Amino acid sequence: MMNSQDTQVINLVADIGGTNIRLAITDKNNNINQIETYQCQNFPHLTNVIHHYLKEKSLLNARVNACLAIACPVDTDSISMTNLPWKFSQKQLKEELNLNSLTLINDYTAIAMAIPLLNDQQKIKIGRGETAEKQPIAVCGPGTGLGVANLVNINNHWYCLGGEGGHTDFAPVDDLDIKIFQQLKTTKKRLSYEQLLSGYGLEQIYQALVVITNQESVSPQPTQLSAKEISTQAIAGNCPVCQQALSQFCKVLGSFAGNLALTTGSFGGVYIAGGIVPRFTEYLENSEFRKRFETKGRMSHLNEEIPTYVITESQPGLIGAAAYLNQIV
């Protein structure tokens, strides 16, 4: 007698980072269920963790369509993860797991694809502007690096345009930007936005300000603080240099987000993702982020109309992978 699972069709989604892998089942309405999180270091290979999940959920005999969002390039059959020793062939992975279909997408493609599905409880609006339906959307995310992606709607389908926008040249705007730029240039041949808009970037801003401050003060500041320590001290109001560093971080982020808006005509909104900014959204709201976003000379009136949001949803990668999968299966 045929088991019902022999014909059961399952849509499997995953969000694979350098530390954790999240797996879930999705339906045609992009609902995410049966989320499980595993530590990557506990498994020798991606095949093992996916097999483990399917076995746990009694889905080894199901026909599985899988969409995996992964933090590395996915444009060739051979995949080598940036922060993990996992290497594999897409074709071989599909065969080993006996998948009905397999699609790999970049992690920022997944985050971008999630944006049209977010409700007001999954994002926080910063400043004015109103979303124009089906207009281009931009997303940037300070984290380990600075991820960037864009969404365009064609015939009611969303398509993600990836790239490496975080590596564009940093352009100083105010006097303190210039001082920070000059200080960092003493050790860097070139400064990209990622070198300021990331965890490492916040640390670099702080370290530059320490040098600048110590040149003008008889009370030297500690030179080594982590990004988390800097933001925590700034929010608590315990360290003037930390406050200045976080404020300047918010300003630079506003300038960069505003540049994205102008480049792509992002009247669907500009969204801030990543693990850093959601920790201090109130600080961002009270900073000059939005002022910098809007201050674009003769084009300021355009950016004044474009809304900016911080994504607060904890699983945008899974939601985006589901949205991507449901457009192709």
What is the structure's pLDDT at 215? 63
Is 14 annotated as belonging to a binding site?
yes
Is 265 annotated as belonging to a binding site?
no
pLDDT tens digits, residue range 89-113? 999 999 999 999 999 998 889 999 9
Do residues 87 and 79 make contact, with C-beta atoms less than 8 angstroms apart? yes
Residue 122: name the closest of 30, 227, 253, 236 by CA. 30
Q: Comparing 4-13, 27-36, 142-151, 306-315, which segment has the lowest mean pLDDT?
A: 4-13
Q: Tally the domains of the chain.
A: 2
CATH number at residue 12: 3.30.420.40
Sequence-ordered list of residues with C-beta below 8 angstroms from that of 254, at least 6 positions apart, any chain: 287, 288, 289, 290, 291, 292, 293
What is the structure's pLDDT at 85? 85
Determine the Cα–Cα distance for residues 165 and 1; give it in Å rounded to an integer.
55
Same domain assignment for residues 175 and 269 = yes
Mean pLDDT, the chain, whole residue set: 92
How large is the average pLDDT for residues 1-22? 78
Same domain assignment for residues 245 and 324 = no
What's the predicted TM-score (pTM) here? 0.88
Same domain assignment for residues 26 and 87 = yes
Do residues 202 and 178 make contact, with C-beta atoms less than 8 angstroms apart? no
Domain that holds residue 38: 4-107+316-328
Same domain assignment for residues 209 and 252 = yes
Is 16 annotated as belonging to a binding site?
yes
Given a cut of 60, whether residue 5 has pLDDT beyond it is no
pLDDT tens digits, residue range 45-60? 999 999 999 999 999 9
| Structural domain contains residue 225 | yes
Same domain assignment for residues 145 and 186 = yes
* 238 DSSP β-pair partners: none
Is 317 annotated as belonging to a binding site?
no
What is the structure's pLDDT at 2? 42
Is 199 annotated as belonging to a binding site?
no
Same domain assignment for residues 321 and 267 = no
Same domain assignment for residues 102 and 125 = no
Given a cut of 80, whether residue 36 has pLDDT beyond it is yes
What is the structure's pLDDT at 1? 41
Same domain assignment for residues 52 and 76 = yes
Same domain assignment for residues 213 and 263 = yes
Q: What angle do CA 33, 157, 256 make, to 5 degrees?
A: 90
The shares of helix, strand and coil residues in the chain, as percent rounded to the nearest 5, are 45, 25, 35
Same domain assignment for residues 303 and 321 = no
Using the structure block, give the residue that is written with the tokens 């014909």. 7
Same domain assignment for residues 320 and 296 = no
| Structural domain contains residue 113 | no
pLDDT tens digits, residue range 249-294? 999 999 999 999 999 999 999 999 988 999 999 999 999 999 999 9
How large is the average pLDDT for residues 66-81? 90
| Residue of higher predicted confidence among 214 and 152 | 152
Same domain assignment for residues 201 and 260 = yes
| Structural domain contains residue 114 | no
Strand 157-161 and strand 146-154: the pairing is antiparallel
Token code pair at residue 133 = 């339906």
| Structural domain contains residue 112 | no
